[in-house]
Structure 1
Amino acid sequence: MSKLFHGTAVAITTPFKEGVVDYDTFERHIEFLLTNDIKALFVNGTTGEGSTLTKEEQIRLVETAVKVTAGRVPVYVGSGTNDTQASIQQSLNVKAAGADGIMLITPYYNKTNQRGLIAHFTAIADAVELPVILYNVPSRTNVTIEPETVKELAAHPHIAALKDATGDMQYFEAVKSLVPDDFALYSGNDDSFIEFLDHGGDGIISVAANAVPKEFQTIYEVYQQDPSQAGDMYAGVSPLIEALNIDINPMPIKALVTYLGFADGSLRLPLVALPPHETKAVIHMYQQLKDGIL
């Protein structure tokens, strides 16, 4: 299986208007991202507040993304939960809606062991028959897909990639040493993008690229020829990345995309909007980046 994409994908935010998903604004945001050279779109993930969307909203967002992208970039969808059968059903639903692949988070709360992870991911991959991106984010789930487990899962014909949100380069190196060359490895952390590329990663599934997609893709492309220059460019983006870590994702990026006109500032509980002084700090860093000050 070939790599799903190279470079920058965006974990897109979900806009609301008076508590209802704002599909028109969602379409405009996607067009902005496509115009600015993103290579893939991830819908209904952590940044998209997928866990608080209804199943119907999730499907309509996928249908909307598929319609707007019109094959220009692949659309991948977060369809995993801590319930294997529910994950299979929703994954089949997003497949019917036109998704190019699915992203599966590790089961949380009820959790499981490594044998359970293998059984869980395998059951979904067998049933859905779409490319699967494993999502390892132990800071949110308290479960890690161990490198040997990734190795076993990578042998499955439909399990194609790992989104690694650990920020742990020792973990990344261990995984990379065990998986075949055609198994893709993507960073899930904006603040370790260059380090991830230094260790042989294939790209990033980015939060900040909701607002600065071209900058991230340009860094990736320059890196292929001149890692040092790319590192200098990344240093200019880093203050914004740091500002977006001021609180729990997606609260800060939602404030920034609201400033850009791609949301109305609202999130679904239990997430809440940033206080004004933190919103101002995030926007200030974005403005400085765009003005060439950083």
Structure 2
Amino acid sequence: MLTGCIVALVTPMQESGEIDFIALRKLVEFHIKAGTAAIVSMGTTGESATLSCDEHIKVVLKTLEYAAGRIDVIAGNGANSTAVAIEMSQRLENSGIVAGLNVTPYYNKPTQEGLYQHFKHIAQSSKLPQILYNVPARTAVDLLPETIGRLAKIDNIIGIKEATGDLSRLLSIKKLVPENFLLYSGDDATCCDFMLQGGDGVISVSCNIAPQLMNTMSQLAISGDTKAALKINAQLIPLYDTLFIEANPIPVKWACAKLGLISSADCRLPLTILDVKYQQTLENALTEVKLIS
């Protein structure tokens, strides 16, 4: 079981828009040294929506190459087309990733039955373990607990990244899924409470820049050390408040560049670099959390 803090890794870009694989290698090493539990390659934070399928696969394979078995890699393999998601899952099945992260189909707004059939067909298309990903603020569709319960009965659907920020969802889901079904927070601002209430970990944006703090807080929360976990979580609140000041991953890429983790804060269009009017606010947060002086 993968528990603790898993980083939703950014995909470094050059100013030209090409992927910066030198910086990607550096990021993988950074998280190995920091003790991060695992890497999600090519999730939302990795700008999966703006990379071609071939680029997507290449980033995952390069991440695996750089990891060299020292840290587990989960790959984003979702799409709003079931056929495309199946293709991605099959292409990655024997790559070495430990699981696929499957976002709810965005834009086309399927029904709960449509969601069930979508994920069922993906899971049945390969032996790759699948983690569901529910983030209605980005996809305009909500995977409800009852549907999650149905999907949890499929052997290789092993968990969910629940990114609604609604802590009452955790209890509802726990009642409907097997005990070994993995429950990850996808919302940094509420992840500490999520883990204190029985969640298995967090797939985190903040972990890109504050892995030691996020890792320690997560381990404390999972072990039930409420006081110590909340103390560290309080230190991280300035990051939670500012890393979503514009659409993710715009702010976190700017922060990564500010900390020297990547060479450029550039994103793929239609995302742009962090607006100048927000840069001082984010810099102040980095200072407050003592990531820069």
TM-score, with structure 1 as normaliser: 0.95
Task: Kindly report structure 1 stretches of 4+ aligned residues shifted beyond 6 Å.
Answer: none
Contact 1:138 1:144 in 2 (8 A): yes
Q: What is residue 104 of structure 1 aligned with on the other side?
A: 102
TM superposition shift of 1:245: 2.1
Q: What is residue 45 of structure 1 aligned with on the other side?
A: 43
User: What is the CA deviation profile of residues 104-161 of structure 1, one whole-angstrom value per residue up to 9, with x for unaligned ones?
Assistant: 1111222211111111111111112111010001111111111111111111110001
Which deviates more from structure 2 when the two are superposed, residues 155-164 or residues 172-181?
Answer: 172-181
Contact 1:129 1:158 in 2 (8 A): yes
Distance 1:97 1:55 in 2: 15
Q: What is residue 180 of structure 2 aligned with on the other side?
A: 182
TM superposition shift of 1:263: 4.1
The number of residue pairs the alignment matches comes to 290
Q: What is residue 225 of structure 2 aligned with on the other side?
A: 226
Q: Is 1:54 matched with 2:52?
A: yes
Q: Please show how residues 195-206 of structure 1 align to structure 2 within 5 Å.
A: 195-206=193-204
Distance 1:176 1:76 in 2: 23
- Structure 2: gaps spanning 5 or more residues: none
Distance 2:122 2:72 in 1: 20
**Candidates 15, 27, 30, aligned match of 2:28:** 30
**Candidates 10, 15, 18, aligned match of 1:13:** 10
Q: Please show how residues 116-127 of structure 1 align to structure 2 within 5 Å.
A: 116-127=114-125
> Residues 68, 291 of structure 1: CA spacing in aligned structure 2 closer, same or farther, 3 A cutoff?
closer
User: What is the CA deviation profile of residues 22-52 of structure 1, one whole-angstrom value per residue up to 9, with x for unaligned ones?
Assistant: 0110010110011001001001111000110
Contact 1:74 1:100 in 2 (8 A): yes
> RMSD of the TM alignment (CA)?
1.5
Contact 1:9 1:40 in 2 (8 A): yes
User: What is the CA deviation profile of residues 168-217 of structure 1, one whole-angstrom value per residue up to 9, with x for unaligned ones?
Assistant: 11222111111111000000010001110122101100001000011111
> Residues 129, 25 of structure 1: CA spacing in aligned structure 2 closer, same or farther, 3 A cutoff?
same
Q: Secondary structure of the residue that 1:20 maps to in structure 2?
A: coil
Distance 1:192 1:225 in 2: 16
**Candidates 205, 208, 211, aligned match of 1:210:** 208
Contact 2:259 2:292 in 1 (8 A): no
Q: Secondary structure of the residue that 1:16 maps to in structure 2?
A: coil
- Structure 1: gaps spanning 5 or more residues: none
Q: Which amino acid aligns with 1:136?
A: N
Q: What is residue 152 of structure 2 aligned with on the other side?
A: 154
TM superposition shift of 1:234: 0.7
